[in-house]
Amino acid sequence: MEIRSANSVWLWSGEPPYSLPEDDFHPWLERYPAETADVRGAVLVCPGGGYNHRAAHEAEPIARRFNTCGFHAFVVHYRVTPHRHPAPLLDASRALRLIRAHADAWRVDPARIAVCGFSAGGHLAASLGVHYGMEALNTGDDLDAISARPDALILAYPVITSGEFAHRGCFDTLLGPGAAPELRRLMSLELQVTPETPPTFLWHTAEDGSVPVENSLLFAAALHKHGVPFELHVYPHGRHGLGLAPEDAHVATWAELCGEWLRETFNHLCV
């Protein structure tokens, strides 16, 4: 396999766990270092796409925006259909562990790494926030000893629940249309929040016709119930999948608000 660029890193040195013979996609991590020699906090970005694809406007542009806030950024190009759970989550956890493993070389503070996700990528990010200790994320190599727990979560119009307000297609793609109720409950993330879930920034639009705003509201309510700090912004107007929202100046304020929240959150973390 040829490396994509000087800032590309394969997640797996050989065949990824849970590989499928009908799909030879190899997941990778793309680095977007901030222009500084200082050690900084970082953001790992998970683009959305319904677990069918990875949306380009929720990848590099998001990483570059976090660079302008002073953070190193990374995009994980994780596996999507025909792969199913736990392959995407395994790729996200591997990416986070790789960042921590290379923290010195990449000038990253390993205790200040947020995971940011959009739509289905928000489900992936939040999954890592609640399931980072899942045994299936260990593959028997040295990286298993490195924590896969994010230090903060940033969730943009995330898929969260498999209940009444579910995006059914997303769950069918990730788990299979005939998935057992127990598995659907396990991946209904508002039900999996604990006091150890990382601090979270959420934003959504009330008009979202694809992933109902109740997804963010349910996760925020669960965070509140368990005493986890969070910030939630619900914008009254706007379609699903806005990304940086260049078409709507009001919704676009989420990025600056998020940067302020993340700086404050990182400042309050214990070393």
Q: Which domains does the chain have, with CATH numbers?
A: 8-268 (3.40.50.1820)
Residue 3 has a pLDDT of 61
What's the rounded Cα separation, in Å, for the pair 219 and 211? 13
Q: Which amino acid is at 36?
A: T
Q: Residue 193 in contact with residue 223, Cβ under 8 Å?
A: yes
The helix/strand/coil state of 137 is helix
The reply to whether omega before 199 is within 30° of 0 (cis) is: no
Per-residue pLDDT of the chain (271 residues; tens, 9 = 90+): 556 688 999 999 989 999 999 998 999 999 999 998 899 999 999 999 999 999 999 999 999 999 999 999 999 999 999 999 999 999 999 999 999 999 999 999 999 999 999 999 999 999 999 999 999 999 999 999 999 999 999 999 999 999 999 999 999 999 999 999 999 999 999 999 999 999 999 999 999 999 999 999 999 999 999 999 999 999 999 999 999 999 999 999 999 999 999 999 999 886 5
Residue 5 has a pLDDT of 81
Is the pTM here over 0.85, yes or no? yes
Give, in order, the Cα–Cα distances in Å from 262 to each of 64, 116, 151. 16, 11, 10
Our measurement of the distance from residue 223's CA atom to the centroid of its chain's CA atoms, rounded to an integer in Å, reads: 17
For the record, the structure tokens of 183 come out as 């598995």
Residue 268 has a pLDDT of 86
Residue 4 has a pLDDT of 66
Q: 40-46 and 72-77: which strand pairing?
A: parallel
Q: Which amino acid is at 185?
A: R
| Torsion from C-alpha of 112, 35, 233, 173, nearest 10 degrees | -80
Give, in order, the Cα–Cα distances in Å from 39 to each of 190, 199, 216. 34, 21, 32
